[in-house]
A and B are shown apart, each in its own frame.
Chain A
Amino acid sequence: MDVSKITRILVVALLACGLAVSAAAQTSVRIGGVMTLEGPFTVLGQEAVRAMEMAFEEVNYSVAGKRIEWIKESSDGRPDVAVGKARKLIEQDKVDILIGPMSGGEGLAIKEYAKSVPGKTILNGFSAAQETTLVNPAPNFFRFGTDGAQWQAGLGSYVYDVKGYRTAAVVAGDYSFGYTQVLGFMTEFCAKGGKVKEKIWVPMGTKDFSSAIARIPDKVDAVYVMFGGADSVNFLTQYFQAGGKIPIIGGSNVTEQTVLSTKGPFQRHIIGIPSAHMVADGIEDPAYLEYVAKYKKRFPDGLAAPSAPFYGYYVATKAALTALAQVGGDLGGNQGKFREALAKLKLDTPTGPVILDENRQAIANIFVTEVAQRPDGTLYTKVVKVMRNVNQTLGQPRDAFVARGVPSRDNPSCP
């Protein structure tokens, strides 16, 4: 058998597929979604699907007289996979607008990709790496959610002023999101005069935290902890089993509902842990309560309450739909009008108003919370302080903030 035959067949097959690309219909708007429906963030990806579904159903899958066609693609949390899927949606499925992705590394990669498709618009889903919009932003990449450093706004001052902590140690995941959250916390804590004596970075994939726990110094007032969902449960369980007495300050994921609703002895110890995020279970604003009620009614098999990724994708989809309605569905001229509308949008979300800065990054409310217990025994995050309109530079001048460099293991530092 010779190679030419196989190749010939392949070439014919490829041609057939290549020519089968369908032209986008004029009477519809195609919106693509990239979410993690496989890999470690699968649960979050399901929330993203629910979020887009709820937003589209609210407008009955039509905007400005055009039908909405929704095409989903799954990533597994890896940047190269996310970009591959984004490419497929934009270049093969011909979507006009892309919503996603889920995690930090994916966001950075898709931002870079966005620069190569200037005629399309990408709205960030839930990825929260700071550099995505702070450094070399893409003109067609919009983020209506806050970033990982913004999420910690107010936490540093709260634990310094109210809890009276003066020194802290940091135990966090050794990757970009960990660095970003630690920067968000330390920016305020160090500015107040607090000292972070030691930073312990734990490699991703670690399940046994005993060596990290052993390295926590005795003479600190608090330990700042930042891990993803299941790792948080593991760390907290092992910390309390090891007899950990130093109070804990939680990163955004540590007091997430996925952690709080996990059954285990650690639950007894975590009441009172302060944390901060762009959403909180205990928000009592009517708009937020209505949003929660709508989620519970629409998705009886969903989580106990809409999660942060749900909020991220929901707000992004709402932003796209609102701006589309404002321009009457006009995506001509490389979507210039649509993008202008997006940039000027003042969006009312369940957690308050969102506007964008000049880098198309959200300025929005952040909630400082403490873990509390409801009468029925379930844990939730009680709002103790609302930080209004937090911007990406955390209130500092942009030049000075950018000049300090991207978050890393050693940046910032105040030993």
Chain B
Amino acid sequence: MLLQVSAGWGRIARWTLMAAAIISYPHFAPQFWVVNIGAYAIVLGIITLSLTFLAAYGGMVSLAQMTVAGVAGYTLAILSSHAANVGSAILPWPWALAIALGSGTLAGILIGLVSVRTKGISLLMITLAIGMIFFYLTQQNTTLFHGFDGFRGVKAPIVFGMSLREPIVFYYLCMGVGIALYAAVSYMVRTPFGIALQGIRDNPRRLAALGYWVELHQVAAFGVAGFVAAVGGVLSLWYHGGISPGSVGITAMVNILIVAVIGGLGQPRGALIGALLFVLIQNFAIDLFIRERFNTVIGLTFLVIVLFSPDGLIGIWERLRRNRKRGLRSAPNGATN
């Protein structure tokens, strides 16, 4: 009993500490660490969250989540003012933002409609094909997407006199949005829809026999993931101040999958962990011992993680924790004997 109470207090203390760290972080960390590492990792984490949601609860691994993010990013870029000499804002930013998020969600639903009857490798290939179609569309269409050059100088909106792209504001924005989306996903998997989705993941035939419309649930999951990815796409547009075909190309698409695998594809919380490690390696691999071969360092890190922990960093963590618990449980026994 006493133990439980203290565990409860410990948990509160931990949460408080974590909240304090998150809130105070931008006030003492250098700007580079706030925006380029902190905020960017969250942006990448949000796009990856959409994939881990699909994979963990729907059993569907899609390569096109970056495409969905790109649809939202391009929509917002087209509708907002930017420096690439193509007119000023077409719509006030709240409308543009709403349309961008809507188009991302719609893109997710459409991709779901096309690919939902496949699974495993076939699903990966179909979503890869969809992603490549969008990539070539953006690269070759000059009237709407500006071809190879894409959009530059897209400004984040100004709210209450502050640009959302101000380093600290942007960090809090990403952090707030990230936490909200994570909470929403965590909540959703406990709703009847989420339970049914997991049931479909485990045994679609039985769920169909029970009267569930399997495909509808799966398409809806793609829609939810589409919305999450769209939010990430919008934040990514503001972070980079622009978007070009390279942002939705095959490297970018595969990166999302890599981030998810590093973090642990089975659990949404792996997304942020994976994104953070990915961004750290991307930035600092060149500072490690092999300056000329830093891409090898990145590749080797991924290889080691996948080899030794197929369920990613989360998997490593959980195994460590299980071992520790086992150790704790066996210790008193040893004492009494």
B37 touches A (CB below 8 Å): yes
A1 touches B321 (CB 8 A): yes
A11 touches B21 (CB 8 A): yes
B140 touches A (CB below 8 Å): yes
Contact mask B218-259 → A, CB, 8 Å, 1/0? Answer: 000000000000000000000011101011000000000000
Chain B residues in 8 Å Cβ range of A24? none
A79 touches B242 (CB 8 A): yes
| Known contacts A4-B15, A14-B38, A203-B139; is-contact A92 B321 (Cβ 8 Å) | no
Q: Which of B22-30, B60-68, B192-200, B327-335 contacts A (4 or more CB under 8 A)?
A: B22-30
Q: How far is the CA of A408 from the CA of B241 in the complex (A)?
A: 21
B152 touches A11 (CB 8 A): no
Q: How far is the CA of A17 from the CA of B14 in the complex (A)?
A: 21
A203 touches B148 (CB 8 A): yes
Q: How far is the CA of A261 from the CA of B294 in the complex (A)?
A: 30
B247 touches A406 (CB 8 A): no
Prevailing SS type, chain B contact patch: helix
A403 touches B (CB below 8 Å): no
Contact mask B114-149 → A, CB, 8 Å, 1/0? Answer: 000000000000000000000010011010000111
Chain B residues in 8 Å Cβ range of A3? 269
Chain A: which residue is nearest B143 at the CB level? Answer: A409
A84 touches B (CB below 8 Å): yes
A6 touches B317 (CB 8 A): yes
B32 touches A (CB below 8 Å): yes
A15 touches B29 (CB 8 A): yes
A4 touches B14 (CB 8 A): yes
A348 touches B (CB below 8 Å): no
A69 touches B (CB below 8 Å): no
Q: How large is the interface on A (under 10, 10 to 19, 20 to 34, 35 or more residues)?
A: 35 or more
Q: How large is the interface on B (under 10, 10 to 19, 20 to 34, 35 or more residues)?
A: 35 or more
B18 touches A91 (CB 8 A): no
A406 touches B85 (CB 8 A): yes
B139 touches A405 (CB 8 A): no
Q: How far is the CA of A95 from the CA of B295 in the complex (A)?
A: 23
Chain A residues numbered 1-20 whose CB sits less than 8 Å from any CB in chain B: 1-8, 10-11, 14-15, 17-18
| Known contacts A18-B29, A18-B30, A87-B36; is-contact A204 B286 (Cβ 8 Å) | no
| Known contacts A112-B153, A174-B148; is-contact A91 B321 (Cβ 8 Å) | no
Chain A residues in 8 Å Cβ range of B318? 1
* Of A83, A91, A136, the contact of B31 (CB 8 Å cutoff): A91
Prevailing SS type, chain A contact patch: helix
Chain B residues numbered 147-183 whose CB sits less than 8 Å from any CB in chain A: 147-149, 152-153
Contact mask B254-277 → A, CB, 8 Å, 1/0? Answer: 000000000000000100010010
Chain B: which residue is nearest A6 at the CB level? Answer: B273
Q: Which of A70-78, A152-160, A306-314 contacts B (4 or more CB under 8 A)?
A: A70-78
B152 touches A14 (CB 8 A): no
Q: How far is the CA of A84 from the CA of B294 in the complex (A)?
A: 16
Smallest CB–CB gap between B153 and chain A, Å?
Answer: 6
B32 touches A92 (CB 8 A): yes
| Known contacts A4-B18, A11-B21, A79-B244; is-contact A17 B33 (Cβ 8 Å) | yes
Q: How far is the CA of A176 from the CA of B83 in the complex (A)?
A: 14
A108 touches B (CB below 8 Å): yes
Q: How far is the CA of A332 from the CA of B18 in the complex (A)?
A: 40
Q: How far is the CA of A11 from the CA of B24 in the complex (A)?
A: 11
Chain A residues in 8 Å Cβ range of B247? 78, 80
A112 touches B241 (CB 8 A): yes
B206 touches A (CB below 8 Å): no
B11 touches A (CB below 8 Å): yes
B147 touches A174 (CB 8 A): yes
Chain B residues in 8 Å Cβ range of A83? 240
B326 touches A (CB below 8 Å): no
Smallest CB–CB gap between A9 and chain B, Å?
Answer: 9
* Of A73, A91, A173, A405, the contact of B30 (CB 8 Å cutoff): A91
A78 touches B291 (CB 8 A): no
B286 touches A409 (CB 8 A): no
Chain B residues in 8 Å Cβ range of A343? none
Smallest CB–CB gap between B322 and chain A, Å?
Answer: 9
Chain A residues in 8 Å Cβ range of B269? 3, 6
Chain A residues in 8 Å Cβ range of B292? 37
Chain A residues in 8 Å Cβ range of B290? none
Smallest CB–CB gap between B227 and chain A, Å?
Answer: 22
| Known contacts A79-B152, A105-B244; is-contact A11 B18 (Cβ 8 Å) | yes
A395 touches B (CB below 8 Å): no
Chain B residues in 8 Å Cβ range of A201? 142
* Of B18, B142, B273, the contact of A8 (CB 8 Å cutoff): B18
Contact mask A230-259 → B, CB, 8 Å, 1/0? Answer: 000000000000000000000000000000
Smallest CB–CB gap between A134 and chain B, Å?
Answer: 12
* Of A5, A92, A173, the contact of B14 (CB 8 Å cutoff): A5
Smallest CB–CB gap between B166 and chain A, Å?
Answer: 11
A1-B321, A8-B21, A78-B244 known, 4 other contacts, Cβ within 8 Å: A11-B21, A83-B240, A91-B30, A205-B139
Closest CB pairs A-B (n = 10): A91-B32, A175-B148, A18-B29, A11-B21, A80-B240, A203-B140, A204-B148, A4-B14, A78-B246, A18-B33
8 A-B pairs within 8 Å (CB atoms) are namely A1-B321, A14-B25, A15-B21, A79-B152, A79-B240, A80-B240, A91-B30, A203-B140
